[in-house]
Amino acid sequence: MSTPLNEDQIAQLSNHMVEWRRDLHKHAESGWVEFRTSTIVADKLDKLGYELALGRDVIKEESRMGVPSADILAAQEQRALEQGAIAKWMPHFSGGFTGIVATLDSGKAGPTVGVRVDMDALDLQESHACGHVPAECGFESVNTNMTHACGHDGHTSIGLGLAHYLMQNRAQLTGKVKLIFQPAEEGTRGARSMADAGVVDDVDLFAAIHIGTGVPAGEVVCGSENFLATTKFNVEFHGRPSHAGGNPEEGKSAILAAAQATLGLHSISRHSSGASRINVGVINAGTGRNVIAQHAHLEVECRGENNDINDFMFRRSQAVIAGAAAMYEVEYHLDVVGAAKQSVPSAQWVQFITQKATELSCFNQVHEGLGGAAGSEDATYFMERVKQHGGQATYMIFGTELAAGHHNDRFDFNENVMQNALRLLASLAMNAREFNQR
């Protein structure tokens, strides 16, 4: 029989979650520079009494992807301090190691439950448009080109709400809970480094969460599998400049290599075993019309309905780029800046969640699964790692009203969704012992 939730505490924490969310939203920080966010989160968890593992202890350095330059990291650290980052925690996170794992051990037998939330904002300028709630209510982002337009401010707040609730009810808790606060999910850059550090190797039951994504308000998806495996990469072509009028034959055009590569990448074959994607989304190349372009920068991603298809797309991409460089005798550098896997939720664990969600009676509708792939998520790195170690894993989505789509500069969500997310996560953590007894 499930332990009932303490609705008074839930109500109180709901107010806090709104407050935290708005503070995080106002001080939105992009991937790997969540210095204010991570120091504040760490401080709160520490004060609650969680056992903390921070920074390099939970992030494998060489597994990070798409990390900004040292200059930018240093400047952002400074910026964060000026905006209220808590200096005493900074040494742990300095240099782009903005990850946190908080553990609560009940001392009683029971499974280890892991919950992952992400903390980063998007590289996007927030809208100042009339009617955009964060602007009207005074919590729009103060940071240029950094906006919580994907709801991670909500995720972090839910994580904090859950941390409070579990500590308040630790007497009833069994087993262990690990709360994972991940950096740099945007661009799928951060999860691999935490998974590679082994932070979920002892987790029996794992859940990552997201709000919104088109799921109607009041509904929950207990085992979403609509993710494509993906590899995100940048390509730099380095040619040789020359004057386009005077001695064009001495140039080696990075732009021609980029053009051939672009067409070559988009001509990679479809795959008979499922959906694939390829996109050259950005090209920045050349310095002037009268100069054979020395440099071209491309931002590319490929995806696949399963990991094999994505591997095929990426392997072919590498050949295309090497060949295009060879055609124009230019040098190139390919840098993987993000990656995610496809991962299928564990059926038994999803059924358990479905049952708990139904029991809660707070959802209009409870979906076991959801098809129709589209985006990518690096929580899949955690999921695959958990399953490799014998655990079970899932990805949950909490539906809510959206003011505009994800990654739109007017994105906003109905904060009520955080309550239901807290309820279900709390219920799972408090009752996880049931799962093992089944």
* Site residues, a second copy (CB under 8 A): 228, 230, 232, 243-249, 251, 253, 255-256, 258-260, 262-264, 266-267, 269-273, 275-293, 296, 299-301, 303, 312, 316, 319-320, 322-329, 373-376, 407
Work out how close the CB of 303 gets to a second copy at its nearest, in angstroms, rounded to a whole number. 6
Closer of 55 and 190 to a second copy (Cβ): 190
Task: Output the smallest distance, CB 149 to a second copy, in A.
Answer: 12
Shortest distance in whole angstroms from residue 53 CB to a second copy: 31
CB 319 within 8 A of CB 295: no
Interatomic CA distance for residues 68 and 417, integer angstroms: 33
Q: Which is nearer to a second copy, 144 or 269 (CB)?
A: 269
Q: Which residue lies nearer to a second copy by CB, 295 or 389?
A: 295
Question: Are 185 and 64 a contacting pair, CB within 8 Å?
Answer: no
Taking the least distance from each CB to a second copy, the nearer of 36 and 410 is: 410
Q: Rounded distance, CA 40 to CA 51, Å?
A: 15
How near is the Cβ of 154 to a second copy at its closest, in Å?
A: 21
Q: Which is nearer to a second copy, 156 or 253 (CB)?
A: 253
- Taking the least distance from each CB to a second copy, the nearer of 276 and 346 is 276
The answer to whether residues 438 and 11 touch, using CB atoms and an 8 Å cutoff, is: no
Give the shortest CB-322-to-a second copy separation in angstroms: 6
Minimum distance from CB of 214 to a second copy (Å)? 10
- Per-residue tokens: 314: 């990426």
The smaller minimum CB distance to a second copy, of residues 6 and 260, is found at 260
**Residue 293 CB-density burial (10 A; 0-12 exposed, 13-18 middle, 19+ buried):** buried
Q: Which is nearer to a second copy, 292 or 429 (CB)?
A: 292
Which of 307/351 has CB closer to a second copy?
A: 307
Q: Of 72 and 275, which CB lies nearer to a second copy in the complex structure?
A: 275
Quote the least distance from Cβ 144 to a second copy, whole Å: 16
**Cβ closest to a second copy, residue 263 vs residue 347:** 263
Per the DSSP assignment, residues forming a β-bridge with 207 are 115, 394
- Provide the minimum distance between the beta carbon of 233 and a second copy in the complex, in angstroms, as a whole number: 8
CA 235 to chain centre: 23
Tokens of 135: 């602007």
Q: How far is the CB of 52 from a second copy (least distance, A)?
A: 33
**To the nearest whole angstrom, how small is the minimum distance from the Cβ of residue 406 to a second copy?**
9
Q: What is the 3-state secondary structure (H, E, C) of the chain?
A: CCCCCCHHHHHHHHHHHHHHHHHHHHCCCECCCCHHHHHHHHHHHHHHCCEEEEHHHCCCHHHCCCCCCHHHHHHHHHHHHHCCCCHHHHHHHCCCCCCEEEEEECCCCCCEEEEEEECCEECCCCCCCCCCHHHHCCCCCCCCCCECCCCHHHHHHHHHHHHHHHHHCCCCCCCEEEEEEECCCCCCCCHHHHHHCCCCCCCCEEEEEEECCCCCCCEEEEEECCCCEEEEEEEEEECECCECCCCHHHCECHHHHHHHHHHHHHCCCCECCECEEEEEEEEEECCCCCECCCEEEEEEEEEECCHHHHHHHHHHHHHHHHHHHHHCCCEEEEEEEEEECCCCCCHHHHHHHHHHHHHHCCCCEEEEEECCCCCCCCHHHHHHHHHHCCCEEEEEEECCCECCCCCCCCCCECCCHHHHHHHHHHHHHHHHHHHHHC
Q: Minimum CB separation from a second copy for residue 242, in Å?
A: 9
